[in-house]
């Protein structure tokens, strides 16, 4: 094992690996990314933090980036910044916690873009109190999991038509402490915002593996990634104490976004599927045996999401 890989392994077993120190050490071996000219990339949550940083960098690599967000002013600001820097960007407004919004967004994307090469499922929320959307669903589940499930399902045919394609799910180290629950909307017991968030991230990993299996022969790869501990508005608002304590060690949004862009652009990332990545290397999606779901739990989770989405699994 090379010294670089040995050091990476040491970082991977400590929390230091998630900090800016971990990224600084590992990035010494990172290669430049290739051009993404001609690619169309959809980024949810593309107006701030890691999503915005990823969108801007992919635009600098030549991609046409579709910035999806809820706030029209923030979308406009992000698109303008990309264009001012010489990149190509398009704006799409949608609230991913609302299935109606998601379905309408997918319809517009399919009508507007003849090919979609990369989908980055990035938007996420961590809420201190249980919140219900105007459609009657718990907001963390609806935003972090169901919205991306619906959007991805509706865009998969276009991604297949545009193959080779890539789906990138932005997860979190929080998933290491949680397993999927049948109580997807946190209806029972005292609400724990961190646990609800972690469960949705565990759910994203399950979807990554299921989609990877189903798309393996269709030219579309699916990956999940952990950005590390990054200094973003979401961390500041969702985890204020954590943000205060770890502020000197937090990564920049650009450092957190690096693996997203690598997964979207690097040829090596197209040679595998269904993996969990951090700092451009695949990592174990489980650190604790108790977070592993049974095949029956996985199948039930898959069926429940189809029930929420209002469609049947075409491959069931």
Whether 197 is a known active-site residue: answer yes
Q: Map residue 186 onto helix, strand or coil.
A: coil
Cα–chain-centroid distance for residue 255? Answer: 15
Instruction: Report the C-alpha gap between 199 and 202 in whole angstroms.
Output: 5
Instruction: Report the C-alpha gap between 45 and 67 in whole angstroms.
Output: 8
**Ramachandran category for residue 59: left, alpha or beta (phi over 0 → left; psi -120 to 50 → alpha):** alpha
Instruction: Report the C-alpha gap between 204 and 124 in whole angstroms.
Output: 11
Question: What single DSSP character describes residue 142?
Answer: I
Strand order in the sheet with 64-69: 88-93, 64-69, 40-44, 118-121, 165-170, 220-225, 275-278, 281-283
Q: What's the angle, vertex CA 266, arms to CA 111 and CA 18, rounded to 5?
A: 105
Instruction: Report the C-alpha gap between 245 and 131 in whole angstroms.
Output: 27
| Residue in 18, 176, 197, 308 annotated catalytic | 197
Q: Which residues contact 302 (CB under 8 A, 6 or more apart)?
A: 206, 210, 313
Catalytic residue positions, numbered? 197
């Amino acid at each position: 094992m090379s010294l670089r890989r040995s050091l990476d392994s040491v970082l991977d077993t400590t929390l230091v690996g998630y900090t800016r120190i971990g990224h600084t050490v590992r990035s010494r071996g990172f290669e430049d990314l290739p051009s993404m000219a001609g690619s169309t990339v959809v980024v949810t949550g593309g107006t701030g933090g890691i999503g915005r940083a990823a969108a801007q960098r992919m635009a600098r690599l030549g991609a046409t980036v579709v910035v999806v967000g809820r706030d029209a002013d923030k979308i406009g600001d992000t698109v303008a910044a990309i264009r001012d820097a010489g990149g190509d960007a398009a704006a799409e407004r949608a609230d991913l916690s609302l299935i109606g919004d998601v379905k309408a967004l997918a319809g517009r994307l399919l009508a507007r873009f003849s090919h979609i090469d990369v989908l980055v499922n990035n938007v996420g929320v961590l809420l201190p109190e249980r919140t219900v959307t105007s459609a009657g669903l718990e907001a963390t589940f609806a935003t972090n999991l169901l919205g991306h499930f619906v959007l991805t399902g509706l865009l998969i045919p276009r991604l297949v038509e545009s193959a080779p394609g890539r789906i990138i799910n932005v997860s979190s180290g929080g998933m290491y402490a949680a397993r999927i629950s049948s109580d997807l909307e946190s209806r029972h017991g005292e609400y724990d915002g961190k646990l609800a968030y972690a469960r949705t991230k565990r759910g994203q990993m399950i979807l990554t593996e299921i989609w990877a299996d189903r798309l393996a022969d269709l030219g579309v790869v699916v990956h999940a990634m952990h950005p590390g501990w990054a200094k973003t508005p979401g961390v500041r608002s969702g985890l204020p104490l954590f943000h205060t304590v770890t502020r000197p060690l937090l990564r920049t949004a650009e450092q957190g976004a690096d693996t997203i862009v690598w997964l979207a652009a690097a040829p090596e990332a197209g040679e595998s599927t269904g993996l969990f990545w951090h700092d451009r290397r695949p990592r174990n999606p489980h650190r604790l045996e108790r977070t592993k779901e049974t095949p029956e739990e996985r199948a039930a989770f898959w069926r429940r999401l189809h029930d929420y989405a209002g469609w049947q699994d075409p491959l069931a």
